[in-house]
Structure 1
Amino acid sequence: MSVVPEGSINPMETQGYSAGIFECFKDIPTCLCVCCLSPSLVIGLTQGAIKGNGFDFLSCCCGGIAAYRLRRYVQNKFGIQESEDASMIAIGCCGSCAVCQDVSELSKRGELSLGGQPKGREPMTVKS
């Protein structure tokens, strides 16, 4: 019997992405957002929702780095095993597909709703 330290991912519970990198069309709303709004904007919205501040401007401006950080966040959160090299290649060769795959994974696993808000959180409003 092995003991897994608290807060770490049990290697026996790891799994891959629920859809392949070129299976963007399995999640049409996310695919359309990434293609029509630009991956950088979707990354900014997604990172902002994860952090709880609505929109992350820095992530929007630094698309490649932010896409890599988002990809590694999703992999660490759900125990998805992919090498750093494979993540960089996925983002470098087909960044839109990689972003779509990551955002779809967050949605499918109940971490993000289509509106860009984490599930269970009220939409952000501007107080005057």
Structure 2
Amino acid sequence: MTMAVMQPLMSNNMWSTNLCDCCDDMSICCCGLWCYPCLVGSTLSDVNENSCLGCCGCGCPSPVHLALRYGVRKQYGIEGSLCSDWCKVACCSVCSMCQVAREIKRRKAQQATTTVINVQPVHMPMASVGDALAAGLSQDSSIHQ
């Protein structure tokens, strides 16, 4: 018998929020708006990358931001292309980074709250009382020898 206690799964091939859903998470939105390099750094840290790379955001679009967006999209199997990633990073960098940060946060929260319990019945052969006593006596005699 299997019992699963699960939260509704996010669609694995779509972003969990839209590009312009910045107000869905105000802490991420404010960080992106007032300190974009800090948001890039903390998001890099969330995926176990060096957060100092967030300060290397030179160029348009930022190669670090583009690589991060592409990597997150590939990791979670989200539909899209490198070209669409480039366009979003180049035209809407703050909104794009906020979307990436929200995605990581939601996917990690979903992994933390999903619990699967697998209960398998145990089938043990029925032994007679005599067999159990004989087994116990043989163990006791081997211990004392």
TM-score, length-normalised on structure 2? Answer: 0.60
| Structure 1, unaligned runs of 5 or more | 1-12, 112-118, 120-128
* Residues 65-94 of structure 1, C-alpha deviations (whole Å, 9 max, x = no match): 111011011101110011111000000000
Identity %: 24
**Separation (CA, whole Å) in 1 of partners of 2:93 and 2:18:** 13
Shift of the 49–15 alpha-carbon distance from structure 1 to 2, 3 Å rule, reads: closer
Instruction: Identify which range, 95-104 or 22-31, moves more after superposition.
Output: 22-31
Does 1:57 pair with 2:29? no
- Number of residue pairs the alignment of both structures matches: 97
Q: Between Structure 1 and Structure 2, which shows a larger proportion of strand residues? A: 2
Moved more, 85-94 or 62-71: 62-71
Separation in structure 2 between the aligned mates of residue 65 and residue 77 of structure 1, nearest angstrom: 18
The higher radius of gyration belongs to: 2
1:42 pairs with 2:52: no
Residue of structure 2 equivalent to 1:6: none
| 1:23 and 2:29 matched | no
> For 1:88 and 1:98, how far apart are their aligned partners in 2?
10
Q: How far apart, CA to CA, are the structure 2 residues paired with 1:51 and 1:14?
A: 21
Q: Which has the higher contact order (CA 8 A, sep 6+)?
A: 2
TM-score, reference length from structure 1:
0.67
1:39-82 Cα shifts (integer Å, max 9, x gaps) = x2211222133226xx5223322351111011011101110011
Secondary structure, in 3 states, of the residue corresponding to 2:92?
helix
Question: Aligned Cα RMSD in Å?
Answer: 2.0
Superposed structure 1 runs of 4+ greater than 6 Å apart: none
Q: Offset at 1:14?
A: 4.1
Distance of 2:46 and 2:104 partners within structure 1 = 11
- The equivalent position to 2:73 in structure 1, one of 56, 72, 75, is 75
